[in-house]
Amino acid sequence: MSDLKKYINKRKAVDAAFAHNYDKGYGEFKISEMLKRARIDAYTRRFSHKTQY
């Protein structure tokens, strides 16, 4: 386990508000990243099939 994961787990055990806010915030971050990747993929697919003259 990385040092960051150890710290987060330790902090979650001590601070309930941190645990709640961390999980909620991380979930929102993951969703926003998935949407961003979907937009980039859609854009890439749209312009990758240009006709060449």
pLDDT tens profile 8-31:
999 999 999 999 899 899 999 999
Distance CA 29, CA 21 (A): 12
Distance CA 14, CA 4 (A): 15
Q: Is 39 exposed, middle or buried (0-12, 13-18, 19+ CB in 10 A)?
A: exposed
Please, which residues have CB within 8 angstroms of residue 9's CB and are 6 or more apart in sequence? Answer: 1
pLDDT at 53: 52
Whole-number average pLDDT of the chain: 89
pLDDT at 52: 54
pLDDT at 45: 85
Residue 35 has pLDDT above 80, yes or no: yes
* Overall pTM > 0.75: no
